[in-house]
Amino acid sequence: MPNIIESLFVLTLVSVLMLVLNYCAKIISIAAAYKAKLLCSGVFISHRNPEAVVHEDLEAEDLAYFRLVTPQVDFIKQSASASLFGLSKRTAIYKPDLGCFLVYGDKPINDASLQPIPHESGFNTSQLNSHDSHHTMDVTTQNHLDSVLDWAFAEPDSKHKRRTRAVVILLDGKIVAERYAPGFDQNMPLPGWSMAKSVINALVGVLVGQGKLDLDAPAPVPIWQGIDDPRREITLNYLMLMTSGLEFIEKSNNPLYDLTKMLLTTPNAYAYAASKTLRAKPGSHWHYASGNTNIISRIIRDTLGEEGYRRFPLEALFEPVGMENAKFEADASGTFVGSSFLYATARDWAKFGQLYLQDGVWEGNRILPEGWVSYSTTPTLESNGRYGAHFWLECEPKKVRDGTERPLPPGAFHAMGYEGQCVSMLPSHQLVVVRLGLTRKTDVWRQDKFLNRILDAIAVSE
């Protein structure tokens, strides 16, 4: 009997040890993928110094354990790699049309997809980049705005930093304040994270306006078309409103949840998201999930075909609005990761916000169909008024909603992303506010307080 008990104990111990080792291996691989991907984008898209990206971004605060994962940049191959003592090595490579994407196997994307698409650039940059694009403010108001920017870039908590890197404030379509942290400037594209979802909103809007997509039609996802598959009821509109009903764990605090696995462990974000089963009847339950957006991104690709798809963000949105440095990044399947991977400058984001503030019209040209901004900013009932169609309608914490703190003016809406990225549109004041940064602790940056301080500063001149 003792021998049997000892054997069972040993088997149990070995099993537990194997589970722990397997878990650790997955964590290390994900950490290496994160570091390789973000380092590649930081160097080859933002054109930052590799050491700065590593130390200022990838090893900040709770990411300190990433120091065990060693990065390396290959400027000849335009790639970045990371590994733990040579183990679990992950590599991301840069391609001009596709941004940086993680490699899976020897051939991450077919050769045709790797070839640059010939394109003649015709950026229209006049609205914000011309000599008269800055709004003339009285000295008192300007001093108040400068004080607000001082607040935005201040670091009151040395352990949990704001790391504000760029701010652009537009009033009546003109810049009234702009500032950058040391090492950053108006020409540097920075990650927008989930603000990319709002850009996908714009691309869908263009295609709906052209009659190429129908919001109320069933989403054209092949694996959902089985006669007994309940996912056949999911429409494009449900995906836009985050009411698809798909099972998807969005939380980023566990590297083995769906969000991280989709972005860092699979070559095809769309396939990962589309394979999920239903957790609720389509249209009945609001659940914010990045998988919805990557399914939409693939629907756009299938609608346009390969060459048209890769040109589409440029021709339909970035060039007409003058978002000169905006770049979507693809996954290894060649589909843009519309949920998370878009780099753009603060001024690019300001133009995007101004487009929505102007009801989708830019310099007299209608970019988004009539009524699209209204659709995008109409509260989804299931979200308790917090969300529209790939735009947030609130950025305030619960205590503001409870009435214990000052709320924002009615009608405000926002594109929001991880680590405190935000483009806020306040139609009541014809105001667009862009804040880019790297805030690891969510409550360290309060966009609502920032906006109210700006409103107070502007009120001085009214």
Q: How many CB atoms lie within 10 A of CB 446?
A: 19
Nearest by Cα to 264 from 339, 189, 345:
339
Instruction: Look at residue 292 in the predicted model and tell me its pLDDT.
Output: 98
Residues 199, 96 share a domain: no
Same domain, 237 and 368: yes
Residue 11 has pLDDT above 60, yes or no: no
Task: Tell me: pLDDT of 20 over 80.
Answer: no
Determine which of 55-59, 65-69, 172-176, 425-429 has the lowest per-residue pLDDT on average: 65-69
% of the chain with per-residue pLDDT over 70: 86
Query: What mean pLDDT do residues 384-408 have?
Result: 85
Residue 283 falls in which region: left (phi positive, over 0), alpha (psi -120 to 50) or beta = left
- In three-state secondary structure terms, 256 is coil
Within a domain: 35: yes
CATH no. for residue 439? 3.40.710.10
Close Cβ partners of 371 (under 8 Å, ≥ 6 residues apart): none
Q: What is the distance, to the nearest Å, from the Cα of residue 27 to the centroid of all Cα atoms in its chain? A: 23
Question: Is 108:101 a contact under the CB 8 Å cutoff?
Answer: yes
pLDDT, tens only, 282-340: 999 999 999 999 999 999 999 999 889 999 999 999 999 999 999 999 999 999 999 99
> Do residue 54 and residue 153 come from a single domain?
no
Q: Is the C-alpha dihedral spanning 94, 191, 171, 359 positive or negative?
A: positive
Q: Strand pairing partners for 175?
A: 134, 170
Q: What is the DSSP string of 199-231?
A: HHHHHHHHHHHTTS--TTSBP--GGG-STT-GG
DSSP three-state, residue 413? strand
pLDDT at site 9: 57
Could you tell me if 330 and 417 lie in one domain? yes
Domain that holds residue 40: 2-105
Share of the chain above pLDDT 90, in %: 77
Position 130 in a domain: no
C-beta of residue 246 within 8 angstroms of C-beta of residue 238? no
Lowest mean per-residue pLDDT among 109-123, 216-230, 437-451: 109-123
Q: Are residues 30 and 150 in the same domain?
A: no
- Residue 402: band (very low, low, confident or very high) from pLDDT cuts 50, 70, 90: low
Tell me, yes or no, whether 164 and 51 share the same domain: no
How far are the Cα atoms of 10, 126, 127, 179, 180 from residue 132, in angstroms, in the given order?
76, 9, 9, 18, 21
Phi, psi of 190 (to 5 degrees): -130, 160
Q: What DSSP letter does each residue of 116-134 carry, written as one string?
A: PPP-------HHHHSTT-B
Report residue 104 as tokens: 């899976």
SS3 assignment for 390-457: CCECCCCCHHHHCCCCCCCCCCCEEEEEHHHEEEEEEHHHCEEEEEEECCCCHHHCCHHHHHHHHHHH
Tell me the mean pLDDT in the region 255-273. Answer: 95
Residue 112 placed within a domain:
no
The per-residue pLDDT for 414 is 98
Could you tell me if residue 247 is inside a domain?
A: yes
- Do 208 and 91 fall within a single domain? no
Counting beta carbons within 10 angstroms of the beta carbon of residue 164, is it exposed (0 to 12), middle (13 to 18) or buried (19 or more)?
Answer: buried
Q: Is residue 64 a part of any domain in this protein?
A: yes
Q: Is 428:411 a contact under the CB 8 Å cutoff?
A: yes
Helix (H, G, I), strand (E, B) or coil at 198: helix
pLDDT tens for 145-181 read 999 999 999 999 999 999 999 999 999 999 999 999 9
pLDDT tops 90 at residue 251 = no
Please give the average per-residue pLDDT across 100-109, as a whole number: 77
Domain boundary among 57, 83, 105: 105
Residue that is last in its domain, among 84, 105, 126: 105
- Are 333 and 309 spatial neighbours (Cβ–Cβ below 8 Å)? no
Complete DSSP assignment for 334-387: S-B-TTT-EEE-HHHHHHHHHHHHTTTEETTEE-SPTTHHHHHTSPPGGGTTSB
Q: Are residues 234 and 351 in the same domain?
A: yes
Specify the pLDDT at position 87: 84
189-213: pLDDT as tens digits: 999 999 999 999 999 999 999 999 9
Residue 323 lies in a domain: yes
Q: Is residue 307 part of a domain?
A: yes
- Given a contact cutoff of 8 angstroms between Cβ atoms, the answer to whether 169 and 175 are in contact is yes
Q: Domain tally for the chain?
A: 2
Does residue 447 lie within any of the structural domains? Answer: yes
Q: Are 216 and 343 found together in one domain?
A: yes
Q: pLDDT band for position 120 (50/70/90)?
A: very low
Residues 176 and 321 in one domain: yes
3-state DSSP assignment of residue 396: coil
Tokens for 62, please give them: 């709770």
CA pair distance 442, 421, nearest whole angstrom: 11
Q: Model pTM?
A: 0.91
Q: 131 or 216: which carries more pLDDT confidence?
A: 216
Q: Of 82, 105, 128, which marks where a domain is finished?
A: 105
Do 55 and 169 sit in the same domain of this protein? no
Q: Are residues 317 and 420 in the same domain?
A: yes
Query: What is the pLDDT averaged over residues 216-220?
Result: 97
Query: What is the pLDDT confidence band of residue 382, given thresholds at 50, 70 and 90?
Result: confident
